[in-house]
Structure 1
Amino acid sequence: MSVGIVMLVHTAFDRAEQLARHWSAAGCPVVIHVDAGVGRGAYRTFTKALKDIGTIRFCKRHRCDWGTWGLVAAAQSASEMMLRDFAEVRHVYLSSGSCVPLRPVRELIEYLEARPRTDFIESATTADVPWTVGGLSEERFTLRFPFSWRKQRYLFDKYVDLQRLVGFKRRIPPGITPHMGSQWWCLTRQTLSAILEDPERETYDRYFQKVWIPDESYFQTLARLYSTQIESRSLTLSKFDFQGKPHIFYDDHLQLLRRSDCFVARKFWPQADKLYRAFLSDSGGGVTMAEPNPAKIDRIFSKAVERRTRGRPGLFMQSRFPNDGWENGVTCGRYSVFQGFSDLFEGFEPWLAKASNTQVHGHLFHPAHAEFSDGQTVINGALSDSAAQRDYNPIAFLTNLIWNTRGERQCFQLGPEDIEAPLWFLARDPNAQISVISGAWAVPLFKSNCNFSELRQEAARLQKLENAQLDILRSPHAKARVRIWTMAEFIEAPMEPLQGIIDEMGQHSLRRLSEAPKMSDLTGFGQFLQNLKNQGMHPYLMGDFPVHPGGPSQKKPPRKPYLVQ
């Protein structure tokens, strides 16, 4: 009998009983500490259930709140009883009621018998580890922490601020250097008894009672004084997320846990029946004596942490949605935005769908409703064309559309009246390809049959809206691929920008466009713009349009050449 088990229990007593019987059946004496916060009735029922096993003891109870001295006091009381009542114990293994052996217990016994003077305890100085979460590393040893971080958070924070303000620092007892590590250790009788019987124990206890999270530093520090051979690692597989909270193992982690070759793992979900049946059965096969190797599964835990903190590109989830800037790519795929093209060209959307083999929508942020391709009212992912639902969260609407249709490039139209469109979001998205023909909104006004005074007011309103949009798209913070042409500049040689847009979309191998969209008849458009000027409105976003087209004696300016393959 070379290994004694100290169990700290505060809940799930049926599972704790099952574990205690499993340890005891393998020849390990067990000393159990039950949190003083557990009611007397539950405590009596638990002790009565294990009364039939002579190698199980219950020690003095302490209240064990997270991060407080009670956890150290519980380990001290249970360890003292273990050393006093079981003289044949050579190693003492600290565990909890949710720590489950992953391998036959006899493998752990033989492993420790082969290393009779080795202490397995994670022990490192604060300067050497990046584990601390919450901003307290060295300060946990130099400040006082009389308040519970979980139950008295306001007092905890204010008292820390006060100590920092007055420059208070505690004196570390001479002869020790604070170390930190996992609270789940396995110490030899010699080392543990030296810690518990140290003449300076009262001094050390008084100091560590006001250290923050002393269960991760008390034994880890004092073991350095007495151990002749420390393996700075825990034999218990215990993984933590980026917030410092322990991962909980469920039934679907069975194969993952088996691959680790670790002796013990925590923290098991009490209802994980499949795990308890698999690891607490008597069928263990031959002794393998494989070295515990949690690194085998570290990559999976690292991926889990990254997935939780960064997420998948373009998919908002619980952990990142409230945190602006946590996104791993704001959208999941590339998409194209066109402004002014459907005003300047007739049938632009069908032409673009044919030329690029993409899904081309109308104005997704039209004030009346979202204009999905082919007149659909509901699109992939049950995304409705309802303006009310879209405008409740326009960014979520767009990211959902791109996510639900991933694998197929999306294109949609934008205009000055699409005031609900998330322009800043579009401008900062590297996946966005934004092409703008400024002033093209004037073409529908030119063709309309409205009173000219109304046209002038509407033109002034639309120009103001589009100018504000262009200011955003031209921002130095924009990361999207933005190209802006004035209307006069674009119609001078329309095939060149169209060819560049299609090539950049990359849906086909690079080839020349064989068909161009039909441009609206702009005869008289220059005079229309001049009339707006005459009425006091200055249409500057369209570029320089001549009032009268050149006569027969005037030569037309040569068109810009482009390569035809």
Structure 2
Amino acid sequence: MSVGFLMLCHTALDRAAQVARHWATQGCPVVIHVDKRVRRKGYDGIVKALADLPNVRFSGRHACEWGTWGIVAATQEAATIMLQDFPQVRHVYLSSGSCLPLRPVAELVRYLDERPRTDFIESVTTEDVGWTIGGLNLERFTMRFPFSWRKQRRLFDTYVRLQRRIGLKRRVPAGIVPHLGSQWWCLTRQTLSAILDNPDRAEIDRYFRHVWIPDESYFQTLVRQVSDQVESRSLTLSKFDFQGKPHIFYDDHLQILRRSDCFVARKIWPHADRLYDSFLSNDPSGQAAAEPNPGKIDRLFARAVERRTKGRAGLYMQSRHPNENWENGRTAAAYSVFEGFSDLFENFETWLGKATGTRVHGHLFAPDRVHFAGGDSVYNGALCDSAAMRDYNPKSFLTSLIWNTRGERQCFQFGPGDNQDLIWFMAADANAQISVISGAWAIPLFHSNRNFGDIRREAAQLQKIEGEFLTILRASWVKARVRTWTLAEFVENPMEPLQTIVDEISPRSLRRLTEAPRLADLTGFGQFLQNLRNQGMQPVLMGDFPATGVLPLGANRRGRPYLVK
């Protein structure tokens, strides 16, 4: 007994002829169906190329558009010729013109001889299917689909919505329990002939003619009626991506295909010369005589799909620029943002760099230039200190900085006077650690020697900007790690929040701070705030600073560091 192959071809007919010759010369009959949409010249070419093989036949041609009845009709006609012309065939194997045998034909024949009554076809009920794309499981059997999903998508969707709205449902023929599965199967002669010779075939065909993607349900459903022994799996390796499109195998997939131990694989790139030369060589070396197990490479495909859909965290580049909120992490690593700290403390960047061992920048989004650590004009990733180039795409500037400095935590200063385009982005970034001393922006104004009217107007503007930032940071959707203090709260006890910040940036140090950075001189700051009130500007973000000369605890210790005993 032998196995016969049905081939549904529509492109790369030269490769299909090469595979058909391989099977036919090994004693396996082949019946080929060529899509009716293929030009006559191409069809005549493949017929001529295989004319010397007595066990090759060509069936009547049908237009095989995706998701339509033509694919089932083509399979039926080719299968009928196979059963009539080759009575020695016991198993019939359905393949496509882009399929490629992965193991010697003798192994497949031997494998099927050991299982003479077994049908290999993926066949599961609609309730058990979780891989359908498009949201139509049971509905594909109860609705009509007269329009092409690919060529008439708007009409297709409109007609589906109309049927749902009016509750239009078709009756499933008696005895039919809808099943779904892969199109590529290997059925016994008994099962296939029982399906084709079914006395109710005309009624069944009329019903399935209007089922959506009938090639995934026709044989998968009917085999359950007539077969005594079904293995719900395919002997063909066929992988699909997250959009339901088949993976294409190239030359560099040679070892992966061998590891699958499957007998046939689709879909093969027509120009994969190495694959065709290797697997059609009739050389059994390197071919494992094992049970077909595509699950052995499922993990590789799962990782490939994840990399394609999610990418690497924080990576944006020309070849893959994800849509908004489709990123696999907005940035590549954790980073810290400090607002108000460089206003309250002198040389805060230098102190924090020594305390944590990290790279601490100044105001990266300052209006004049990018203040990189150490005053550099060019930084990792060829980022320059030009404010104009940075502001052309602030998000790309930040994500590029974090990506190109992976392994070294980045810290930078931020304030209401900086470019505010990224406040939403940072608030929604789980990698961001944002620490804010609200109202600290008033300290440089306090020390500035400017007209008080100008100071009042700028203070009002800065307070409005920082107030909007704080409102965003309090939102429920925020993913950043946020800590906020009013200026008065922080000055009363600066060591505790500083210790918390340092521990989070460098948790392995486990070192208690023995000194804090030097505070700016706040003598008279309370009266400065009162003067703002007297001029009609109400400072509300600084906390409770008394208008008298008495400062909060610790604010008058400017000349020496804080000691923890």
TM-score w.r.t. length of structure 2: 0.94
> 2:148, 2:156 within 8 Å by CA — same for their partners in 1?
yes
Structure 1 pair 381/558, CA: closer, same or farther in 2 (3 Å)? closer
Are residues 20 and 492 of structure 1, via their aligned partners in 2, closer, same or farther at CA, if it must alter by over 3 Å? same
Following TM superposition, by how much is the alpha carbon of 1:287 offset from its aligned partner in structure 2, in angstroms?
8.1
Residue matched to 1:187? 187
Q: CA deviation at 1:214?
A: 0.3
Matched, 1:372 2:372: yes
C-alpha distance 491-284 of structure 1, shift in aligned 2 (>3 A): same
- Residues 217-296 of structure 1 correspond to what in structure 2 (within 5 A)? 217-285=217-285, 289-296=289-296
Amino acid at match of 1:144: R
1:423 to 2:431 alignment: no
Superposed CA deviations along residues 159-205 of structure 1, whole A, max 9, x for unmatched, are 11111122111111112211111000111111111111222111111
Residue 464 of structure 1: aligned partner: 464
Moved more, 383-392 or 45-54: 383-392
1:307 is displaced (CA, Å) by: 2.8
Residue pair 2:522, 2:556 contacting (<8 A) in 1 also: no
Amino acid paired to 1:78: A
508 and 41 in structure 1: CA distance in 2 versus 1, 3 angstrom threshold = same
Q: What are the ranges of 5 or more consecutive residues in structure 1 without an aligned counterpart?
A: none
Trace 1:100-139 onto structure 2 (pairs within 5 A): 100-139=100-139
Please state how far the C-alpha of 1:323 moved relative to its aligned partner. 4.4
- Give the letter for the 2:34 counterpart: V
**Residue of structure 2 in register with 1:298 after alignment:** 298
* Equivalent pairs, count: 562
Q: Which residue of 2 aligns with 1:498?
A: 498
Q: Which residue of 2 aligns with 1:436?
A: 436
Instruction: State the match for 2:208 in structure 1.
Output: 208
Partner of 1:340: 340
**Which residue number in structure 2 is paired with residue 166 of structure 1?**
166
Relative distance call for 1:72 and 1:473 in structure 2 (3 A) is same
Which residue identity does 1:212 align to in structure 2?
Answer: W
Counterpart in 2 of 1:327? 327
Task: Look up the match of 1:68.
Answer: 68
User: Which one is further off, 66-75 or 322-331?
Assistant: 322-331
Distance in 2 of aligned mates of 1:389 and 1:233: 56
What code does the residue aligned with 2:123 have?
S
Q: Confirm or deny: 8 A CA contact 2:527 2:549 kept in the other structure.
A: no
Cα offsets for 1:280-316 (capped at 9, x unmatched): 1121149854111111111222222233333333335
Match of 2:10 in 1: 10
Aligned position for 2:410:
410
Measured at CA, do residues 359 and 288 of structure 1 come closer, stay the same or move farther in structure 2, by a change above 3 Å? Answer: closer
In 2: Cα distance, 1:347 partner to 1:18 partner:
75
**Is contact 1:310-1:320 (8 Å) kept?**
no
Q: Kindly state the Cα deviation for residue 241 of structure 1 after the two structures are TM-superposed.
A: 1.4
1:414 positional shift: 0.7
The answer to whether the 8 A contact 1:107-1:288 is kept is: no
Q: Deviations over 1:241-272 (max 9, x none)?
A: 12111111122211111111111111111122
Q: Give, as a single letter, the amino acid of the residue that structure 1 aligns with 2:405.
A: T
State the SS of the aligned residue for 1:330.
Answer: coil
Structure 2 residue runs of 5 or longer lacking an equivalent are none
SS at match of 2:411: strand
| Letter aligned with residue 131 of structure 1 | W
Give yes or no for contact 1:250–1:269 (8 Å, CA) kept in 2. yes
TM-aligned CA deviation for residue 318 of structure 1: 8.8
What CA distance in whole angstroms lies between the structure 1 residues aligned with 2:550 and 2:142? 86
Letter in 2 for 1:104: P
Q: Is the 8 A contact 2:519 2:555 kept in 1?
A: no
Q: Partner amino acid for 1:491?
A: V
Query: What CA deviation, in whole Å up to 9, does each residue of 1:50-104 have, x standing for no partner?
Result: 2222221111111011010111111111111111111111111000111111111
* Aligned partner of residue 48 in structure 1, secondary structure: helix
Q: 1:41 aligns to what SS in structure 2?
A: helix
Residues 492, 553 of structure 2: 8 Å contact kept = no
Aligned CA distance change for structure 1 residues 515 and 103 (closer, same or farther; 3 Å):
same
Give me the CA root mean square deviation: 2.5
The AA in structure 1 aligned to 2:43 is Y
The one-letter code matched in structure 1 to 2:424 is: W
Give, in angstroms, the shift of residue 383 of structure 1. Answer: 3.4
Report the 3-state secondary structure (helix = DSSP H, G, I; strand = E; otherwise coil) of the residue aligned with 1:449: coil
Report deviation, 1:388: 4.1
Please say if residues 320 and 327 of structure 1, whose CA atoms lie closer than 8 Å, have aligned partners that are also in contact: no
Q: Is the 8 A contact 1:119 1:230 kept in 2?
A: yes
Shift of the 386–39 alpha-carbon distance from structure 1 to 2, 3 Å rule, reads farther
What residue number does 2:349 align with? 349
- Asked whether the 8 Å contact 1:309–1:319 carries over to 2, the reply is no
The CA deviation at 1:475 is: 2.3
Q: Distance in 1 between matches of 2:176 and 2:197?
A: 16
After superposition, the Cα gap between the structure-2 partners of 1:203 and 1:41, relative to the gap in structure 1 and judged at 3 Å, is same
Query: What letter is aligned with 1:472?
Result: I
For residues 120 and 544 of structure 1, what CA distance do their matches in structure 2 show?
78
CA–CA distance in structure 2, aligned partners of residues 196 and 5 of structure 1 = 17
Is the alpha carbon distance of 1:203 and 1:386 closer, same or farther for their aligned partners in structure 2, counting shifts above 3 Å? farther
- Residue type matched to 1:532 in 2? L
Q: How many angstroms apart in 2 are the aligned matches of 1:359 and 1:154?
A: 55
2:180 counterpart of 1:176:
no
Aligned to 1:346, the other structure's residue is in SS state coil
Partners of 1:557 and 1:246 lie apart in 2 by: 68
Percentage of identical aligned residues: 69
Q: Please, which moves more after superposition, 382-391 or 112-121?
A: 382-391
For the residue of structure 2 that corresponds to 1:161, the secondary structure is: helix
Deviation of the 1:12 alpha carbon = 1.0
Structure 1 CA distance for aligned equivalents of residues 54 and 238 of structure 2 = 30
Contact preservation (8 Å) 1:365, 1:421 = no
Indicate the residue corresponding to 2:361 in structure 1.
361
Counterpart CA distance in 2 for 1:474 and 1:285 is 65
